Homo-oligomer: A and B are copies of this chain.
């Protein structure tokens, strides 16, 4: 069975990574790449890496055209733009993996507070399926619409959920000090992500206001059955890709580093993409892969959990293919071993 897939918003970094991964997937054919431009550039002029590997133009396609050509859509559109087209795609019988933020938050009010706009498709939110398989795998199988997680929430949730679920840490006063490569800011030219602005520099951004905050809190609450509050501080690292989250949580009782690591290891023992390590993880250790490396240290009154992922892969396009594999009952690691 070959699944015909389309990628909406195919000019950016996550779309490129999706194409690259899907080209390795024996049961997938990429049949559509969309852009809102009208000049139909060949994909190799937008992503020269794909020269000779994928022979398609980027096109401004209608939903009917997409429905004719594709079985499944990967949405790489900005938030709000995504929820404006997803309902039509689902109505036409397509499956959708949505990489935007539109179907991640179940509470419309929270969405509208943090994203500052009306949600175009609010009715679908309460039952939306959040595609973080290591925490919430079952509903993804066979789903028609999966909300692909944000990069920071993946990194922080994989670090903290096991300890919260095990009752080892308190659900409040959690600090997530996170650091990301610049590709996380997208491919639209902006002063702040110009090379000479980012290179040889390090800074925080969105302190106290980043939209991934409620997504992290929702994941931790759902995984642990408790209301959770998180202080989330993202920073920009002068590198292309990778996220490291340094998570500070308060133990509920005395605990050692070995016990904390052990709790993580037990939780993830059967997961193909999460490796609990003894040493300190570096983003380079997972760069270009769908892996997450995790460890823990007890220091003073805090458990520190450190996690690394590749923001474009486990934090976006690799996770999307992992979800796709579950939705279509392929082996979960297909096209993701690297």
Interchain CB contact (< 8 A) of A48 among B52, B193, B285, B297: B285
**Given A175-B302, A233-B304, A299-B231, A194–B191 Cβ distance below 8 Å?**
no
Output the least CB separation between A280 and chain B (Å).
Answer: 5
Instruction: Tell me if A107 counts as interface (CB < 8 A to partner B).
Output: no
Instruction: Tell me if A330 counts as interface (CB < 8 A to partner B).
Output: no
Complex: how many Å from CA A274 to CA B238? Answer: 25
Contact B200 A200 (CB under 8 A): yes
Instruction: Tell me if A328 counts as interface (CB < 8 A to partner B).
Output: no
Complex: how many Å from CA A338 to CA B54? Answer: 12
**Given A175-B302, A177-B177, A293–B187 Cβ distance below 8 Å?**
no
Which residues does A use to contact B, with CB under 8 Å?
13, 20, 23-24, 44-45, 48-49, 51-52, 172-173, 175, 177, 179, 181-183, 187, 189-191, 193-205, 207-208, 229, 231, 233, 235, 237-242, 244, 246, 248, 275, 277, 279-289, 291, 293, 297-302, 304, 306, 308, 337-338
| Chain B residues, CB < 8 A from A190 | 189
Complex: how many Å from CA A20 to CA B201? Answer: 18
Contact B208 A49 (CB under 8 A): no
Complex: how many Å from CA A194 to CA B181? Answer: 13
| Chain B residues, CB < 8 A from A233 | 246, 299, 304
Contact B281 A203 (CB under 8 A): yes
Copies of the protein in its oligomer: 4
From A250, which residue of chain B is reached at the shortest CB distance?
A: B173
**Given A51-B275, A183-B196, A275-B51, A203–B282 Cβ distance below 8 Å?**
yes
Q: What are 24 A-to-B residue pairs whose CB atoms are below 8 Å?
A: A20-B338, A23-B337, A48-B281, A49-B284, A49-B287, A175-B177, A177-B177, A177-B248, A181-B202, A189-B189, A195-B197, A196-B241, A200-B200, A200-B240, A200-B287, A201-B239, A201-B282, A202-B244, A203-B282, A203-B308, A204-B280, A207-B299, A233-B299, A235-B246
Complex: how many Å from CA A49 to CA B281? Answer: 10
From A49, which residue of chain B is reached at the shortest CB distance?
A: B285
Output the least CB separation between A274 and chain B (Å).
Answer: 9
From A312, which residue of chain B is reached at the shortest CB distance?
A: B196
Contact A200 B49 (CB under 8 A): no
**Given A48-B281, A196-B13, A231-B300, A202–B179 Cβ distance below 8 Å?**
yes
